[in-house]
Chain A
Amino acid sequence: MIKVTDLHKSFGDLEVLKGINAEVQEKEVVCVIGPSGSGKSTFLRCINRLEDITSGEVVIDGESLTDPKLNINKLRSQVGMVFQHFNLFPHKTVRENITLGPIKVKDMNQEEANKLATQLLEKVGLSDKADVYPASLSGGQKQRVAIARALAMSPKVMLFDEPTSALDPELVGDVLEVMKDLAKEGMTMIVVTHEMGFAREMGDRVIFMDEGKIMEEGTPSEIFDNPQNPRTQTFLSKVL
């Protein structure tokens, strides 16, 4: 589904990704963990080309991101992204946040889009919030709307960049529940997270990144119970 080959990314002189190789199968949930500044966000942002790729290749469902003929807008519409700080559109209601993409990008009509929004809001448990503005929502509710907004595009894969780390602890659970439901439905997901519990429970595979490289990867029990790389061991001893 996604194949990353020798991905390098530099900001000026600073090389942030130093040759990433990874593969994600359809319906797989891959969790990415690692210390701050290790390049997790940058890796994710390269996958929907919010960052330009310096060298290497990313192929999603047979389409290469570095192909100059690629329709980048179409590709992005098929790759859902959920941000740490939600990034909801504050001037639009919850419903409008969700329907904007389908209407403008997929030429869906208003009525159909509204129906879709209603379905998705039900799915994330916010049916009663369709007509409010994001400012009146809690962080957990905002993040669930952001997930619904991404799902409205029927993406082939969902990318999550620390979706719960800006939330008050008591609000984390609701968001994780929604993500678990998604995983169970067979959504392909790459999740950068500090929630080791989620990674262990829901991850098919866990990738540990440090200093712009994948240091170790394996099943949750391989990584959490029996880490081989000393850096993984150090990192886990700090966070667990």
Chain B
Amino acid sequence: MFDGLIDLINSPHWGNTLPFIRRGLALTLYITFVGVFFGFIIGALAGFARLSKNKIIYGVATVYIELIRGTPILVQALFLYFAISQSFGINFQAVTAGIIAIAVNAGAYIAEIVRGGVESIDKGQKEAGRSIGLSSSQTMRYIIWPQAFKRMIPPLGNQFIISLKDTSIFAIISVGEVTFLLRQYVSSTAVTFEPYVMLSLAYLVITIPAMLILRAIERRLDV
């Protein structure tokens, strides 16, 4: 028992997995950052569409948001990578498919964050803006949005962490992110314990500081 523990501590696999962790995590972070960036653009558009009085714009956004929120991201990734690329002959790189999947998926959740943020601002703010003669878009830009965005930061940070973890499912479409690389390591060495401990730590190294930073921001913002 004790010997086994010493063996485990001295195992070469801790160190051997490190290059894969490093390489995989870089891609994981890349997909997450780029995906969430575009997700924010999609989400802002869809979020404002949900606030629109135009029924068609509102309807399109609602269908998008509910379709995405109602299906698992794994299914969305499979759909994008296999169903769309086969049926329409569009050949995505696996990484591109991953980025699109994160953007489209996070976009739906961010849309609701944007809508909620804007709706949370007291109606009196808009009225005060309009009553000094600001147009509706100026009121949004100078009055509503700055206040709403502040309130959106904590949920956006949460969404970033969720999306980061979601990238792990792209192992299934052979995106060389960290989960995929460590699974490969497992299948080529038949060692399981050390690689999966390292894999978990790889995510925690990012998510725990991210959560701490987020909490500090929340306290600073006092929202």
State the A residues within 8 Å of B (CB).
Answer: 48, 50, 73-74, 76-81, 83, 85, 87-91, 100-101, 104-106, 146, 149-150, 152-153
Contact = CB atoms under 8 A, between A and B. Distances in A.
Contacts of A48: 131
16 contacts: A73-B130, A74-B133, A76-B133, A79-B131, A80-B132, A81-B128, A81-B131, A89-B129, A89-B143, A100-B132, A101-B134, A105-B134, A146-B128, A149-B132, A150-B132, A152-B132
A89 B128 contact: yes
A189 to B, nearest CB: 15
Contacts of B122: 87
A117 to B, nearest CB: 13
Contacts of B158: none
A39 B150 CA distance: 36
Nearest to A83: B124
Interface string B145-157: 0110010000000
A77 B124 contact: no
B132 A90 contact: no
Contacts, number: 62
Given A87-B125, A146-B128, 20 more contacts: A50-B130, A73-B133, A73-B135, A74-B133, A76-B132, A79-B131, A80-B131, A81-B131, A83-B128, A87-B122, A87-B127, A87-B128, A91-B146, A100-B134, A104-B134, A104-B138, A105-B132, A149-B128, A150-B132, A152-B132
Contacts of B134: 73, 100-101, 104-105
B132 A77 contact: yes
B142 interface: yes
Given A90-B147, A100-B142, A77 B127 contact: no
Nearest to B129: A89
Report, as a range, how many residues of chain B touch the other chain: 10 to 19
B128 A91 contact: no
Contacts of B143: 89
Contacts of A150: 131-132
A50 B124 contact: no
A63 to B, nearest CB: 14
A239 to B, nearest CB: 26
Interface in B98-156: 122, 124-125, 127-135, 138, 142-143, 146-147, 150
A101 B133 contact: yes
A91 B132 contact: no
Contact of B127 (A50, A80, A152): A50
Nearest to A84: B124
Contacts of B146: 91
B131 A104 contact: no
Nearest to B125: A87
Given A89-B143, A90-B147, A91-B147, A153 B132 contact: yes
Contact of A101 (B127, B132, B147, B150): B132
